[in-house]
Amino acid sequence: MGYTIAQKIIKEHLVTGEMIVGTDIGLKIDQTLTQDATGTMAYIEYEAMGIPRVKTEKSVAYIDHNTLQTGFENADDHRFIQSVCKKHGIYFSRPGNGICHQVHLERFGKPGKTLIGSDSHTPTGGGIGMLAIGAGGLDVAVAMGGGAYYITMPKMVRVNLTGKLNPWVSAKDIILAVLRVMSVKGGVGKIVEYGGEGVKTLTVPERATITNMGAELGATTSIFPSDETTKEFLKAQGREEDYTELSADADAVYDEVIEINLSELEPLAACPHSPDNVKPIKELEGQQIDQVCIGSCTNSSYLDLMRVAHILKGKKVADNVSLAIAPGSKQVFNMLALNGALGDMIAAGARILESACGPCIGMGQSPNSKGISLRTFNRNFEGRSGTADGQIYLVSPETAAVSALSGVFTDPRSLGEAADIEMPEKFLINDNMVIEPAPVEEMDSVEVLRGPNIKSYPKTSPLTDTIEASCSLKVGDNITTDHIMPAGAKILPLRSNIPKISEHCFTVCDKEFPARAKTLGQSIIVGGENYGQGSSREHAALAPLFLGVKAVLVKSFARIHKSNLINAGILPLTFTEPADYDKIKLGDMLELPNVKEEIAEGKQVTVVNKTTGESFVADCELSDRTRAIIIAGGLLDYTKENS
Ligand code: MIC
Ligand code: SF4
């Protein structure tokens, strides 16, 4: 039996376990990336492990999220990360150099290699045939120290692409079409692999748009073959030597196959407030809009922005629209500046932002009240834009640009003939914003610079025999990490201060939660399906840990969040019978009378509702390793015990 692309890379990197679906496997990690909003914590964790020099082939720290300095906090974090990098062997990409995923694809990613990143959109690297996975900061810290990264061996999904996109239909429309079929939880426990004749028609940045937004499927990762197109891209980046060819065997077996005929696709939009709430632009046409934001790690490549500039050239942004554009990297920005495309954007009335995440993570550009905002981003979760009642639609750069001009939802196919925009033969290569680490012989003399906002990792404790705790919060399905631990300009500067950031935990759902949880001392959160979808932020586990949350009992979990809970020593429980969800109300006193023994023996966990007198069992799906981590009180304690 042949192998899929992902199976080939897994096989090469397997350090523990076997490639049996549903079982735990450990992978050797070649490259890591961090960004600043998760990075400070990841490097605090790395320092706690006491390993002088990273053991990966390449580790890069990017500054791209917290680029608003409204006080000393973000600036201090950046300085801390820069000094840690210098000391411990990590490359440092300065603020302004671009969004981690875009820059990594351009400058560092390599086909056939493994990459984990403390950001859920790390699968962008799948666009050049990397096995690139989003992980919690602590997992990245462990990988930098040479430890394996553990995942559950995923199922394989093949998305078979046939045909060719029509003019003005784009890669964003492909991934929105996949989201429409699979939904935001359809990818959980799976790797999505793209194949078929249609692959050849897509450039690397287009492939990367698709693998980037595979995160919204809940998938472990997504991947494209590495072929002639990949080679051309790497060559244009001056990195032809990084190329290796990679494709699935003809007799590779997939658990699921999805057919997408590119010729039949039309421009689409993900409507508020979920990336899988997909409708054709045709159905929205004519509706007035207020804002357009173009950028993010999904759609801010050279090709994307050249198409945008082409549409804007010689025109004027509608009076009712605010148009903001953030190029994905310094490379893209600089090329647009030199070839005149930037001038076309500025002349049309676009507001040009620096190369960073910006509005995608609520760092500025929040829309007006009830404002309709078209964004080329990947997430439209409620409140993420910074405006609680903002209506965010996720669209392609082409739809965004043409709608910015007309002031209403507009199908870009109305533009007629396709634009003649080619991939450059040579990208502008200038890595002067990437700072190299100190040579080994000088590393001891590098001082790590810590600001006063940088606080240590919260206190953990080993699993107790019994847990008695009230239900401090009951929430529904599809709770995102933006609900659990909101981001945005006001809260992101607190990412390195868990006590302070905890005051914002779950406030989107219930303003009283942090105070209530603190008063209770210890408590349990109850939730529905796909709990913790979205970001890799471990703060969505560390803040509850700080507030005394001992267990989270839900119908199902999103992958990265579940592993962040385990790493933090919080028990991830699922209802054996989904109907038992109705047996708990906010404030009920719950008891897990025999929890330690049940976990240690791999049994179901007994839950007694002492308020109603009812009891039932819950599941706790753990491997031998994650069971030991939970019993130890989290991954840091486990690592200390086992090193
Ligand atoms: C996001 O898109 O939600 C983020 C901000 O990039 C997060 C990481 C974070 O919360 O710092 C992600 O996707 O993992
Ligand atoms: Fe940044 Fe947005 Fe991409 Fe997250 S999704 S890495 S916030 S651009």
Say if residue 640's pLDDT is above 90. no
Ligand 1 near 119 CB (within 6 A): yes
Ligand 2 near 99 CB (within 6 A): yes
Ligand 1 near 36 CB (within 6 A): no
For a mutational test of ligand 1's pocket, the pick from 535, 538, 539, i.e. the residue with the most ligand atoms closer than 8 A to its C-beta, is 535
Say if residue 642's pLDDT is above 90. no
Which atom of ligand 1 is least distant from the CA of 539? 10
Ligand 2 center–CA 50 separation, angstroms: 30
Using pLDDT thresholds of 50, 70 and 90, give the confidence band for residue 641. confident
Query: Maximum CA pair distance of the chain?
Result: 72
In the block, residue with structure tokens 């390793």: 625
pTM of the model: 0.98
Ligand 2 center–CA 472 separation, angstroms: 30
Ligand 1 near 41 CB (within 6 A): no
Q: Which amino acid is at 151?
A: I
Using CB atoms within 10 A of its CB, is residue 445 exposed (0-12), middle (13-18) or buried (19+)? exposed
Say if residue 572's pLDDT is above 80. yes
Which atom of ligand 1 is least distant from the CA of 118? 14
| Residue with CA at minimum distance from ligand 1 atom 2 | 535
Model confidence pLDDT, tens digit, residues 188-197: 999 999 999 9
Mean pLDDT of 461-470: 97
CA distance 346 to 325: 10
Is residue 382 within 8 Å of 365, Cβ to Cβ?
A: no
| Contacts of 558 by beta carbon, 8 Å cutoff, 6+ apart | 185, 188, 218, 530, 531, 532, 533, 534
- Runs of H (alpha helix) within 23-136: 36-49, 72-88, 100-103
Strand order in the sheet with 221-223: 221-223, 190-195, 155-162, 256-261
| Contacts of 237 by beta carbon, 8 Å cutoff, 6+ apart | 106, 107, 427, 429
**59: part of which helix (H) or strand (E)?**
strand 58-62
Mean pLDDT of 443-461: 94
For a mutational test of ligand 2's pocket, the pick from 102, 354, 360, i.e. the residue with the most ligand atoms closer than 8 A to its C-beta, is 360
Strand order in the sheet with 14-16: 14-16, 24-27, 149-152
- DSSP classification of residue 71: S
In this structure, how many other beta carbons lie within 10 angstroms of the beta carbon of residue 640? 12
Is residue 272 within 8 Å of 375, Cβ to Cβ?
A: no
362 Rama sector, left if φ>0, alpha if ψ -120 to 50, beta otherwise:
left
Ligand 1 near 361 CB (within 6 A): yes
Using pLDDT thresholds of 50, 70 and 90, give the confidence band for residue 643. confident
| Contacts of 10 by beta carbon, 8 Å cutoff, 6+ apart | 19, 25, 27, 131, 153
Ligand 2 center–CA 396 separation, angstroms: 16
Mean pLDDT of 475-497: 96
Mean pLDDT of 34-45: 97
| Contacts of 579 by beta carbon, 8 Å cutoff, 6+ apart | none
Give me the count of residues in the chain: 643
Ligand 1 near 37 CB (within 6 A): yes
311-343 exposure pattern, b = at least 16 Cβ within 10 A, e = fewer: bbeebebbeebbbbbbbbbbbbbbbbeeeebbe
Q: What angle do CA 67, 68, 73 make, to 5 degrees?
A: 90
C-beta contacts of 591-594 below 8 A and 24+ residues apart: 591/466, 591/467, 591/468, 592/466, 592/467, 592/468, 592/551, 593/466, 594/465, 594/466
Ligand 2 near 294 CB (within 6 A): no
**Could you say which ligand is closest to the alpha carbon of residue 533?**
1
Which atom of ligand 1 is least distant from the CA of 537? 10
